[in-house]
Every structure is written in structure tokens, then in C-alpha cells.
Chain A
Amino acid sequence: MAAIPGGADHSHDHSHDHHPSGLMRWVTTTNHKDIGSMYLWFSFAMFIVGGIMALVIRAELFQPGLQVVDPDRFNQMTTLHGLIMVFGAIMPAFVGFANWMLPLMIGASDMAFARMNNWSFWLLPPAAILLTGSLLVPGGAAASGWTLYPPLTVQMGIGMDMAIFAVHILGISSIMGSINIVTTILNMRAPGMTLMKMPLFCWTWLITAYLVIAVMPVLAGAVTMILTDRHFGTSFFNAAGGGDPVLYQHIFWFFGHPEVYIIAIPAFGVVSQVIPAFSRKPLFGYASMVYATSSIAILSFIVWAHHMYTVGMPVAGQLYFMFATMLIAVPTGVKVFNWVATMWRGSLTFETPMLFSIGFLFLFTLGGFSGLVLSMTAVDVQLHDSYYVVAHFHYVMVAGALFSAYAGAYYWLPKWTGHMYDEKLGKLHFWLSLIFFNMTFFVQHFLGLAGMPRRIPDYSLQFAEFNKISSIGAFGFGLSQLVFLVVVLKCLKGGEKASAKPWDGAEGLEWTVPSPAPHHTFEVPPVVK
């Protein structure tokens, strides 16, 4: 990162403002920092809701037999857990980071479309209400898994329509947010801030926003076709009417695989800010990081059918998707090596953001390796829809995206609140999360290898021990996240005052404004040399 702040004059930045107070401040706000905060609180609330659903799943799977919920409700839990965590928790969390930090990092006064930004956020709560409220309607919520495969989705009750409508709303919100992000980054950078001088977090969000614009409409198209199959007599995916259920899988995964990177790439961006700061060295191979991230994004469009090797595919197709998938390991490897090289001979310290970043590095790489295992067609035919897959994507999603989100939250909390967080509690949060995460998900590799299928409420006796360990780990992991809530509330309430740049190795424009960041910043753009 070569951005050198110079000439930033904050005499024009005001901490006072003429916005409404109370609830109306949050309803009507067009300020990127307020909207960023709302995104972050919303995502944490949804993380708790989705987490409770995960605990219902793990409580049911604590021992063989049916104890807690009936099988239909169990399927609703797995479906809503997936949808809520992907669209309600992880994506909004990183959009929250983007809202808060992108204008500060590029020296812009706000996002390009401040009112549309407000609308993007306020679309989320109705979608969340639709998803969670569908549990109360006759027939219950969608129970098809987050992938919403037909023919199940063509047959279900009104809960399915609510899920489809929620996905539409969430998609529109993401697309509007991404248009805002691309426009802000392309048009509103401070003088002298060339694209190759931007912090890597900005680059990763620029690439991610293009991905969202390219693939969210694909998902919207797919669920719209399900909707018309259900209610308007079409047969896009309904085999009984001449439709093709496998076509849905192709369309869904053409969205679904880039979606994985929509979640992972901003996580890469956060880690690329944190590791240099606590290594007290510039990021190793900045340009190669930009090109590697772009390569990952492009490759993500041509590997979708590795999610569906078992539907029946010509061998040539299987081979193509296998090798294309393996190819992604190359740019991903470039990134991992660059992060390690950044730390190499750095003046390292291990504050909480750095601990979460290193945790990310180890565990995301492990998730990448199990992804390589699954990329091999012959192996995947055995492991498809088993707990090995569940273990794999939780290493990518939880240890990848969530750990990185925590790294970012701890890193920027002083800038957001003006106070230093409680380092002891932060470290406790990290170590508890690390231990319980592995306890929950590492054993699931063994369950999958032994043949335990996913999305089932009951299982054979042979799987009992590992499931017990996994369930205990899940409850431990869930409770550990409350430590984070305590840290944030303590930090908001008070604590040691944070300076403008609380981390001595941190670089970038965001550290030139006071902590907490004033309501309006960079009304006069800084000059970057």
C-alpha cells in the first residue's frame, strides 16, 4: 500500500451536526458512518439469530434419535441458518466495514449516493422479518436447504414464497450497495489516490462489488423462475411439466460459487490491512495481491459445476471443472504466501486483530485444502452431501470470513468508538473461539469421511461420539461470542481514550482523522502524494 497521506486538513471536519436525534436519526441518516454502524449491528443481531438456529441443529444432533425438533422443523433450521448467515450476517457485516471505512480510506466525504445507501440498509430488516417470520406460517419456513433446489421448492408452502421474496429484497439491497461502492471508489478518490495506491481493502471491495452486480441478478432470476413455477403455471424446473431441475442447479451455482468469493474477498481485504499493521511492514507484493484477487474473482465464474458432480455429467465436463477449480489454488496461494512474507522478519505483536488474522490464515488455508480434496471428482462422488462438506465450508465461512470480520472489528473499534477495547477480553474471545471452533468443525471431517450425510436430524450409532464433541464445541463457540458483545459495549461506554492512530504500524488516510471519527470527514479532500 503506497498511499501517503499529506495535507489532510481536519479543521473543516465537524463532530457536531444538524441531523435529527433519537430514532429518526437512524431512520433518516445518510451518513456513511451511521449506516455502517447500522449494518454492523444488524449483522451481529442476525449472527445471533442464525447462531441460535445452529444450536438447535447441534442440540438435535447431540445424540442419535429425535429429541428436540421434528425432522421437518430440523430442515427449516438448516435452511434458515444458511440463508440468514450468508445474506443476513456475513454479507452485511462486510458492507458495514465498507460503509465505515471506504470513504475514510480514499479521502471521500461520504458514499456517492447517500440516500440510496440508507435505502440499501433499510431493505434488510423487512427481509429478515420475512425469513424468520416464515417459521410461524402454516407449513413452516422453507426446508429445502439454502440452495433452494427444486423440486422441493416447487412443492412447499407459503414459507417458501416468503424466502423467495426475502432473497429478492436482499439481492436488490446488495446490488444497490455495490453500485454505490463501485461509484464511490471509481469517482470519489482524493487527488493523487490512484487505483494502485488504494489500500488493499478498497481493491477487494471494488472487485467484490463487481461480482455482486454480475451474479446477484442470476440468483434473482433463478428464484423468480421458481416463483413462476409455483404460481403462474410455468415449468422451468418442474420435471412433471417438461422442465429441468438440474438447470436450476447450474443457474444457482453460477451465482453460488462467486458468492463464496463475495464473502471471502472482503475478508482478504481486512486481513491485508491488519497483518502489515501488526508486522510493522508494508504489505508484501501489493500489486500481485491485486492481480491475484482479480484472478480469483474471474476464475470463480468458471467452476460452478464442482458443486454438482453427482448430478450426472460427461467425464470431459467433470475433468474441466476439476482442473479449473484446482487452478484457483494458485492465486489463493499467492495471497497466503504474501501474508506470510509480510510477517517474515516483521516486528510482530499479537494484539487481538492480529491473533484473529493469524487464526484466519491457518484455518482458511485448512478450509482451502479440504476444498482441493473436494475438487477432485472421484473423491467428491464419495464425499458429496456428507459432513466433510459441512466441515469444509465452515472452515471457509467461519474461520475465513467471521475471524476476518472480528479482526477488522477489533482493528477499527478505536476509530469507531474513540476508546481502546479491553485487550484481555479480546484475547479471551479469540482463544475461546479458536478452541471451540475446531472442536465443533474439525471432527466433522471424520464424520463425513465415515459417511455421515448432511441435513439429517438422526444418524447411526457409529457417529455418536464425534457428534457429541461437535455439539459441545458449538455451544461453547456460541457462548464465546457473547464475550465480543461485552467488549463492544464496554468500548462504547468508555475506556482508555484512543489516539487518531492507536496502532503504530497502521498506514492510511483513516488514521489521519481523530478517534472517534467525526461525523463529517474529508469535506476538503486530502492530497495524496
Chain B
Amino acid sequence: MDEELRRRNVRTALWLAATAIAVFVMFIVRYGMSSQ
């Protein structure tokens, strides 16, 4: 796998992982805290 493709893959994966983490945090903070 060439270096440019590797970097592109890592960039895509980081965006997707950030999305997943953001959803997790958002649901706990926004909806979970509303009942505290």
C-alpha cells in the first residue's frame, strides 16, 4: 500500500471514529444529563 493511500485511509478512519465518539458523548451529556 503506498504512503499516500495509507494516509488517506487513516484520515477517513479518524473522521469516522471521531463521529462515533461524538455520538456517544452527545447522547450521554445531552439526554442522560437531562434526567439528572
Contacts and interface: CB of A to CB of B under 8 A. Distances in A.
Contacts of B21: 217
Residue from the set A213, A217, A236, A251 with the largest chain B CB neighbour count within 10 Å: A217
Given A188-B5, A234-B36, A225 B16 contact: no
Contacts of A244: 35
A1 interface: no
Nearest to B8: A187
A179 interface: yes
A373 to B, nearest CB: 31
A217 B12 contact: no
Nearest to B22: A217
Contact of B24 (A186, A187, A188, A217): A217
Nearest to B23: A217
B12 A236 contact: no
Contacts of B19: 213-214
A186 B27 contact: no
Interface in B9-33: 9, 12-13, 16-17, 19-21, 23-24, 27-28, 31-32
29 contacts: A112-B13, A178-B16, A179-B16, A179-B17, A183-B16, A186-B12, A187-B5, A214-B20, A214-B23, A216-B20, A217-B20, A218-B23, A221-B28, A222-B27, A224-B28, A225-B28, A235-B35, A235-B36, A236-B32, A237-B35, A242-B35, A243-B35, A243-B36, A244-B35, A247-B34, A247-B35, A250-B31, A251-B27, A251-B31
Nearest to A108: B1
A221 B36 contact: no
A251 B28 CA distance: 10
B16 A213 contact: yes
Given A213-B20, A214-B19, A217-B24, A113 B9 contact: yes
Interface in A91-132: 109, 112-113
Given A113-B9, A236-B32, 5 more contacts: A109-B1, A112-B9, A175-B20, A179-B16, A188-B9
Interface in A173-221: 175, 178-180, 182-183, 186-188, 213-218, 220-221
B9 A217 contact: no
Interface string A246-257: 010011000000
A234 B1 CA distance: 48
B12 A187 contact: yes
A223 B32 CA distance: 11
Interface string A226-239: 00000000111100
Interface residues of B, number: 20
A216 B17 CA distance: 12
B6 to A, nearest CB: 9
A241 B32 CA distance: 13
Nearest to A255: B27
Q: Which 8 A-B residue pairings sit nearest by Cβ, starting from the closest? A: A217-B24, A221-B27, A217-B23, A112-B9, A183-B12, A179-B16, A244-B35, A221-B28
B16 to A, nearest CB: 5
Contacts of A186: 12
A77 to B, nearest CB: 30
Nearest to A111: B9
A418 to B, nearest CB: 28
A109 B20 CA distance: 27
Contacts of A217: 20-21, 23-24, 27
B20 to A, nearest CB: 5
Interface string A452-496: 000000000000000000000000000000000000000000000
A234 B36 CA distance: 8
A250 B31 CA distance: 10
A179 B13 contact: yes
A187 B9 contact: yes
Nearest to A224: B28
Contacts of A179: 13, 16-17, 20
